Amino acid sequence: MQAQLQQLKDILAEVDDLMRAAAVLQWDLETYMPPGGVEARSQQLATLERLAHTRFVSEEVGRLLEDLHPLLEQEEPDSNTACLLRVTQSEYEKECKLPGELVAELARKTALAHTIWQNARETKTFSTFQPLLNELVDLMRRKAENLGYTDHIYDPLLDVYEPQMKTAEVAAIFKTLKDALVPLIQQIAERRDVVQDKVFQGHFDVKRQWDFSLEVLREIGYDFRCGRQDASAHPFTTSFSPDDVRITTRVASEHFSAGLFGSIHEGGHALYEQGIPREFVRTPLNNGASSAIHESQSRFWENVVGRSRPFWTHFLPRLQRFYPEQLANATVDQVYQAVNVVQPSFIRVEADEVTYNLHVFLRFELETDLLAGAIEVKDLPELWNQKMNIYLGITPPDDALGVLQDVHWSAGLFGYFPTYALGNVLALQFEQRMRQDWPGWDTEVAQGKFAPILHWQREHIHAHGRKFAPQELVQRVTGETINPQPYIAYLEAKYGELYGL
Amino acid sequence: MQAQLQQLKDILAEVDDLMRAAAVLQWDLETYMPPGGVEARSQQLATLERLAHTRFVSEEVGRLLEDLHPLLEQEEPDSNTACLLRVTQSEYEKECKLPGELVAELARKTALAHTIWQNARETKTFSTFQPLLNELVDLMRRKAENLGYTDHIYDPLLDVYEPQMKTAEVAAIFKTLKDALVPLIQQIAERRDVVQDKVFQGHFDVKRQWDFSLEVLREIGYDFRCGRQDASAHPFTTSFSPDDVRITTRVASEHFSAGLFGSIHEGGHALYEQGIPREFVRTPLNNGASSAIHESQSRFWENVVGRSRPFWTHFLPRLQRFYPEQLANATVDQVYQAVNVVQPSFIRVEADEVTYNLHVFLRFELETDLLAGAIEVKDLPELWNQKMNIYLGITPPDDALGVLQDVHWSAGLFGYFPTYALGNVLALQFEQRMRQDWPGWDTEVAQGKFAPILHWQREHIHAHGRKFAPQELVQRVTGETINPQPYIAYLEAKYGELYGL
């Protein structure tokens, strides 16, 4: 049995090497690749993904999984081996439903789409992206049909990022959130002028923004010996192994907060990936439990830590050293206000904590309707703008500030968006549990104590890699299932205090 | 037959995708990879190279090549199809002799060796690199034994870079060169003070060096839409397709010439790769004919063009704009002298045109002795320093300036070094031929006319990719076999004039 386990691990290692190599090529495509390189790159990515897929769905893997079934009974259910076999079995069943040709075609088309989306966004012309997006939606529908579903065509795509979660469950959670957030946003709107962001208005040298973000990342525990930060059109995190986890961000002189919180957000993802045990390397366990669990880490660091008063008590004096003229007289309270202004805005990744979720609802609704065939690609810009108006009362002046802002659809990441809001919800469930272990965690942040937070996350979340299904992990850590109430309570308390509601 | 040809091409495309993906991972390893990434990277590279090898030496390829044999007779011998079949057949026979496990092990060990070599060079301690170099030499010996040879164990390794060339032929050419160069260097040494490089002494801002090198590269025809320049420990060129050809260099404020000529050298390689016809993409024909032919292009641009008087007639005013204070009063003649000072020095890539070859002879002798077992890895530093003393009359003060300076051995590139000097030789044979077509090529460079040079190279050399064996290409272009006389005559004339011999 041990020999067969080793055989399986060897194949999984090969598949992992191919997928991580593809991730390197993708990272390069989004950071340094010259424009001419896209055609060859799309072929290379298609080949790598096809080979990884073919190897994984081979009869050999099926036979080994069958042979190893008794081991699954013998081993402790929580053991690494049992979890590896379970996760592999489940992935194997899913992947077997996808033809290699579809996997390759999706890899090729999304690589090509990246450049086309980027140009479309730069020139603010949705029409140049539309034909390829049409093809991608068709490919996603084929993928969904192949994976199969009973309730909603969106279910199998959501399942890629959030195993076992259903579209209807997401809709129910979003309904609860919406019922709490829409009135909260209204109340805030009435007291708009109470909270100001004047302190971060104006020009902030981008080189210094960059250096400050590196300093913050270093302090919260991101290990630069095993990582780096680069610039890209859309911030992302990628892992080639727990010892090589990279993030990207974008900085603009007029948007100080956007660059910094982009870095902290991706830093949160990176801390998760860097924290996965080395024994999981080159296996499917070297991954986060799900995208929502991943977002619970990134959104936690970005918002619950990064937009807190103690955080700025610690970091404002550091930041003042980078911008001595602009910020010499800034107070912690001014900065705390500036990073927590609630205001309808166009760009999701730059949105405040409260309105952020509405950006996600909008995308979730458009995605599900698009996949179900209720709406068409060509109508997306208009529908986007309509929904922005309904949810936030503003209309994007162009598609770069609207439907073209996110990288996700060009990358074939249909099903990902809801996990951002689910991550917000989970972040506060985890925070509640952490507070039981360490009641004063947030006040100690004021002294620059970030290591205990990371230590808690490492122990309760990162150490498990992908061993457990997301909802099982949530149950293990918090003792309950996903529950939006702590998040709603957090927002109401924080913004109630800020806006004097 | 066409169906089988397509099948073969599909497999070759897959193999090429894997090898180019490996090249991306290697590029990243040498440019941006954080130190922690090396372990995973070595595994990923091993997997990619093993899969490429396994796919290429599959029975299917053997059978297709056999089936397609009649096509080889039908097609014009110079046609793309005939050349593709010939090159593939020859590569197939070589690759079949190598076990996949050896290919993977070499990929893994060289990836690990890169970081270890880099650290050893930084800390100037050969002993930290020695154990891995020992293993690499053993692997190279195994590779040579597997490939087979009749005369010298170095032959099959040389053949990887210079197909059909033998160690004995190289030794004979080097003997001719040595007989001419050693007395020339002696004559120059007696008139050492005649040529000065004062104009480039001192501190040259590295950012400006970088920008100037980009300007030069752009003007000689390097297409940055399909390429880019980055920094690395050792300059190199890599191609992911003719539309994505990247170079690296290194700049140091006290070594103005080294950075610039590094860029021009790699630019010469890149022009070759960017000039390969797009119809060769994803086939073995998307390559230079050999390393010596490749070096003939890079050394030509670096030296015959870059170290010429007309080049500086054109570029000095441009350079003066980058360094207005330092170079305001510099004359073309001063700069021409400065970039042509002949002086024994430690670092090959920074050596003048004349002594450069002696650096190559030294490495060729050490490599051949090492492979033959006549010397041992542990003795390399001492033997290196002895030979430096014999050839150039100087002794490196440490191993960073001696045996550890080059990336090649850590990368398993045994057999590559001689091609630098062979490239020097070929560069002047090609130049002679180009002069027949365009007698005033060098004087027109003074007006910044580089396009006709590139055009000539594109037509006579680049356009053939790897269609012809190197010596056949030399014969086609020049009407003769490799011949060091034009190169010797060039050096004697140029440096005779400079030093008033």
pLDDT tens sequence across B337-377? 999 999 999 999 999 999 999 999 999 999 999 999 999 99
Give the model confidence (pLDDT) of A97-132 as tens digits: 999 999 999 999 999 999 999 999 999 999 999 999
Q: Which of B91, B169, B266, B353 is catalytic?
A: B266
pLDDT at A170: 98
Asked if A81 contacts A71 with a C-beta cutoff of 8 angstroms, the reply is yes
pLDDT at A214: 98
Give the model confidence (pLDDT) of B278-317 as tens digits: 999 999 999 999 999 999 999 999 999 999 999 999 999 9
Best of A11, A18, A24 to mutate (most B CBs within 10 Å, chain B): A24
Residue A243, φ and ψ in degrees, nearest 5: -95, 10
Best of A16, A45, A244 to mutate (most B CBs within 10 Å, chain B): A244
Q: Which of A30, A266, A365, A367 is catalytic?
A: A266
Give the model confidence (pLDDT) of A14-41 as tens digits: 999 999 999 999 999 999 999 999 999 9
pLDDT at A364: 98
Average pLDDT value for chain A: 97
Q: How far is B64 from chain A (nearest CA, A)?
A: 21
**What residues of chain B lie within 8 A of the CB of A228, using their CB?**
32, 34
Q: Residue A468: left (phi > 0), alpha (psi -120 to 50), or beta?
A: beta
Helix (H) or strand (E) holding A360, with range, is helix A353-372
Size of interface A-B (CB pairs under 8 A): 122
Was B152 annotated as part of a binding site? Answer: no
Give the model confidence (pLDDT) of A44-84 as tens digits: 999 999 999 999 999 999 999 999 999 988 999 999 999 99
Query: Do the strands B244-249 and B237-241 form a parallel or antiparallel pair, or are they unpaired?
Result: antiparallel
pLDDT at B196: 93
Give the model confidence (pLDDT) of A296-328 as tens digits: 999 999 999 999 999 999 999 999 999 999 999
Contact criterion met (CB < 8 Å) for B51 and A48:
no
**One-letter amino acid identity for B216?**
V
Residue A344, φ and ψ in degrees, nearest 5: -55, 135
Residue B171, φ and ψ in degrees, nearest 5: -60, -40
Query: Do the strands A244-249 and A227-231 form a parallel or antiparallel pair, or are they unpaired?
Result: parallel
Q: How far is A241 from chain B (nearest CA, A)?
A: 6
B209 falls in which pLDDT band (50, 70, 90)? very high
Query: Is A49 labeled as catalytic in the residue annotation?
Result: no
pLDDT at A119: 95
Q: Please check whether residue A240 touches B, CB under 8 A.
A: yes
Measured at the CA of B107, the angle between CA B106 and CA B108, to 5 degrees, comes to 90
**How many C-beta atoms surround the C-beta of residue B95 within 10 A?**
18
Which tokens in the block code for residue B138? 């053993």
Give the mean model confidence (pLDDT) for residues A405-427: 97
Q: How far is A218 from chain B (nearest CA, A)?
A: 14
Residue of A nearest to B12 (CA): A47
Q: How far is B206 from chain A (nearest CA, A)?
A: 18
Give the mean model confidence (pLDDT) for residues A339-351: 95
B28 falls in which pLDDT band (50, 70, 90)? very high
Contact criterion met (CB < 8 Å) for A225 and B43:
no
Share of chain B above pLDDT 90, in %: 98
Residue of A nearest to B21 (CA): A44
Rounded to whole angstroms, how far apart are CA atoms B77 and A419? 60
Share of chain A above pLDDT 90, in %: 98
Query: In terms of DSSP H, where are the helices of B32-166?
Result: 38-56, 59-67, 69-74, 80-96, 100-123, 130-147, 155-161
Which of A184, A201, A245 has the alpha carbon at shortest distance from A27? A245
Q: Residue A483: left (phi > 0), alpha (psi -120 to 50), or beta?
A: beta
CB nearest to B226's CB, from A21, A36, A223: A36
**How many C-beta atoms surround the C-beta of residue B332 within 10 A?**
17
CB nearest to B244's CB, from A33, A224, A244: A33
Give the model confidence (pLDDT) of B392-440 as tens digits: 999 999 999 999 999 999 999 999 999 999 999 999 999 999 999 999 8
DSSP B234: S
For residue A402, give the 3-state DSSP assignment: coil
pLDDT at B60: 97
Q: Please check whether residue B100 touches A, CB under 8 A.
A: no
State the virtual CA torsion across B314, B317, B320, B326 in degrees, nearest 10: 90
> What residues does B241 pair with on adjacent strands?
B244
State the virtual CA torsion across A39, A44, A45, A51 in degrees, nearest 10: 150
**How many C-beta atoms surround the C-beta of residue B172 within 10 A?**
12
Asked if A194 contacts A340 with a C-beta cutoff of 8 angstroms, the reply is no
Which of B87, B65, B82 has the alpha carbon at shortest distance from B288? B87
Burial class of A73 by CB neighbour count within 10 A (0 to 12, 13 to 18, 19+) = exposed
Contact criterion met (CB < 8 Å) for B37 and A243:
yes
**What residues of chain A lie within 8 A of the CB of B223, using their CB?**
36
Contact criterion met (CB < 8 Å) for B34 and A230:
no
**Domain range list for chain B:** 2-148, 167-499
State the virtual CA torsion across A413, A414, A416, A422 in degrees, nearest 10: 170
Q: Please check whether residue A218 touches B, CB under 8 A.
A: no
Q: Please check whether residue B280 touches A, CB under 8 A.
A: no
**How many C-beta atoms surround the C-beta of residue B397 within 10 A?**
11
Was A295 annotated as part of a binding site? Answer: yes
Rounded to whole angstroms, how far apart are CA atoms A42 and B109? 29
pLDDT at B380: 98
Q: How far is B474 from chain A (nearest CA, A)?
A: 30
Share of chain A above pLDDT 70, in %: 100
Q: Please check whether residue A282 touches B, CB under 8 A.
A: yes
**What residues of chain A lie within 8 A of the CB of B51, using their CB?**
14, 18, 51
pLDDT at B390: 95
CATH architecture designation of domain B167-499: Orthogonal Bundle (1.10)
Residue of A nearest to B20 (CA): A44
Helix (H) or strand (E) holding B473, with range, is helix B470-478
CB nearest to B28's CB, from A13, A14, A24: A24
Give the model confidence (pLDDT) of A464-488 as tens digits: 999 999 999 999 999 999 999 999 9
Q: How far is B373 from chain A (nearest CA, A)?
A: 36
**How many C-beta atoms surround the C-beta of residue A29 within 10 A?**
21
CB nearest to A225's CB, from B24, B35, B41: B35
**What residues of chain A lie within 8 A of the CB of B230, using their CB?**
32
Was A122 annotated as part of a binding site? Answer: no
Rounded to whole angstroms, how far apart are CA atoms B178 and B168? 15
The radius of gyration of chain B's CA atoms, rounded to the nearest angstrom, is: 22
Residue B290, φ and ψ in degrees, nearest 5: -170, 175
Q: A112-136: buried (b, 16+ CB within 10 Å) or exposed (e) per residue?
A: bbbbbbbebbeeeebeebbebbebb
Rounded to whole angstroms, how far apart are CA atoms B337 and B314? 15
CB nearest to B34's CB, from A17, A40, A244: A244
pLDDT at A399: 97
pLDDT at A70: 95
Contact criterion met (CB < 8 Å) for A243 and B40:
yes
Asked if A47 contacts B18 with a C-beta cutoff of 8 angstroms, the reply is yes
Which tokens in the block code for residue A279? 């024994």
